[in-house]
Amino acid sequence: MNKAIYLNSRPIGKPKESDFKFVNEDKPEITNGEILLKTKFVSVDPYLRGRMSDAKSYVQPFKLNEPISSGCIAEVIESKNDSFKKGDFVSGSLDWKEYQTSKGENLLKVDENQAPLSAYLGVLGMTGLTAYFGLTDIGKPQKGETVVVSGAAGAVGSIVGQIAKILGCRVVGIAGTDEKVAMLKSKFGFDEAINYNTVKDMSKAIADACPNGVDVYFDNVGGDISDSVHVNINRLGRIIVCGAISAYNDTSAPTGPRVEHFLIRKSALMQGFIVGNYAEKFPEGMQQLSKWLKDDKLTYSETIVEGFDAIPQAFIDLFEGKNKGKMIVKI
C-alpha cells in the first residue's frame, strides 16, 4: 500500500481537512533509469494555498483529484539510475505520497553529515534562499540601516532578521504572540519585536521601535500590518514583497490604502519576487548560508509534526500561526 494525498476540492477561504483526500495507491515499481523514493520530510508552505486555487499565477494550480506536491526530502530505496544509489537522500519537489518513482531530474542530493536533513527544506533550502536573495538583492541593506520584518517568527522571517543582523542593521520583528516576540529577541537576536495582537497603535509602535525610521521592510504578511510599516518608511526605502499571508484565504480581492502617494513622497520602492528568479544563483546562496550556519551565525527554528496523515492539518495550521519557524512533517 502507498498512501497519497489528493486535492479533493479547491479551498474557499481557509483550507479545511475535507479539501484533502487520502488515497491508497499501489506501491510503484521502477524501470530502467528510475529510482524509488521513500518520503522522509515534507515541507508545508503558505504559497501552496495559491496553487490550490485555479487563479492565474506564476505556477500551475494543482489539479483536482490529483496529488499535491511540495518540497520534500526522500531516501533512495532502490535505484536503476547510475546517478543515484540506495541510501542517498535527495531534495526536490515531490508528490505527497509515501513512495514515488523519479527519473532523478530536478532532484538535488543532500548530505546528512553536513546538516540535519530537515535543514535542506528550511535554512539551506527554498526558505533560506528566499530570505537571502530577497533581502540582499532587493533590500540591499546597508550597515546601520533599520530593517523591519513581518511574519518575523516564520521560516523566512527569522532567517531574514538574522541575515540583516549579520549585515550590521538594526532589526525589528513583527509577530503575533508574546512567546514569538520573546524568541525573536532571545534566540534570533532581533533588536526589538512587536506583538501585533496586543499593541494598540501599530504605526506608533513601529515608530517607537525604529527611531531612525524604516529603511528596508521585508514583508511576509501584507494587510493592515504592512500599512502601519509603510507610513514609517524612510526616503529611498525598499519594500520587499515576499508574501501576503494575511490575504491568502480571502475570498474577494483585498483593498487598502493606495500606495502611490507614499512611494512618490519617499522615492520608495516595492518589489515582488519569487525565489525561482534567482535559480542561477542558488549555489552561491547555499554556500553563503551553509557558511553562516557552520560559523554559528545563523540558527533556525522548526516545528516538526510526525506522520504522513498529519500533512493536511500541518498546512492548515500555518494560517493560524501555530508554527515557529519552518513547518515540516516527518514521515
Q: Which residues contact 68 (CB under 8 A, 6 or more apart)?
A: 5, 6, 7, 20, 48, 51, 52, 62, 95, 96
Is residue 267 near a second copy by the rule CB under 8 A?
yes
- What sign does the CA torsion over 276, 278, 282, 45 have? negative
Q: Name which of 33 and 223 has its Cβ closer to a second copy.
A: 223
Displacement of CA 152 from its chain's centroid (Å): 11
CA distance 157 to 152: 4
Q: Name which of 70 and 301 has its Cβ closer to a second copy.
A: 70
Is residue 261 near a second copy by the rule CB under 8 A?
yes
Q: How far is the CB of 46 from a second copy (least distance, A)?
A: 11
Q: Which of 253, 280, 283, 320 binds a second copy (CB under 8 A)?
A: 253
Q: Which of 13, 87, 257, 307 binds a second copy (CB under 8 A)?
A: 257
Structural Rg of the chain based on CA atoms? 20
Q: Tell me if 62 sits within 8 A of 40, measured CB to CB.
A: no
Is residue 219 near a second copy by the rule CB under 8 A?
yes
Grid cell 539551506 is found at 124
Q: Name which of 107 and 270 has its Cβ closer to a second copy.
A: 270
Beta bridge partners of 72: 42, 92
Q: How far is the CB of 196 from a second copy (least distance, A)?
A: 17
Q: Name which of 241 and 310 has its Cβ closer to a second copy.
A: 241
Q: Name which of 159 and 221 has its Cβ closer to a second copy.
A: 221
From the list 150, 297, 295, the residue with the least C-alpha distance to 224 is 150
From the list 197, 198, 255, the residue with the least C-alpha distance to 222 is 255
Residues of this chain, 36-95, that bind a second copy according to CB under 8 A? 56-58
Q: How far is the CB of 276 from a second copy (least distance, A)?
A: 9
CA distance 250 to 71: 25
**Total residues contacting a second copy (rule CB under 8 A)?**
37
CA distance 328 to 119: 10
Q: How far is the CB of 53 from a second copy (least distance, A)?
A: 12
Site string for a second copy, 274-303 (x = CB under 8 A): x--x--------------------------
CA distance 280 to 276: 9
Q: Name which of 102 and 228 has its Cβ closer to a second copy.
A: 228
Is residue 268 near a second copy by the rule CB under 8 A?
yes
Q: Name which of 265 and 291 has its Cβ closer to a second copy.
A: 265
Which residues sit at the interface with a second copy, rule CB under 8 A?
56-58, 219, 222-223, 226, 235-236, 241-244, 247, 253-274, 277
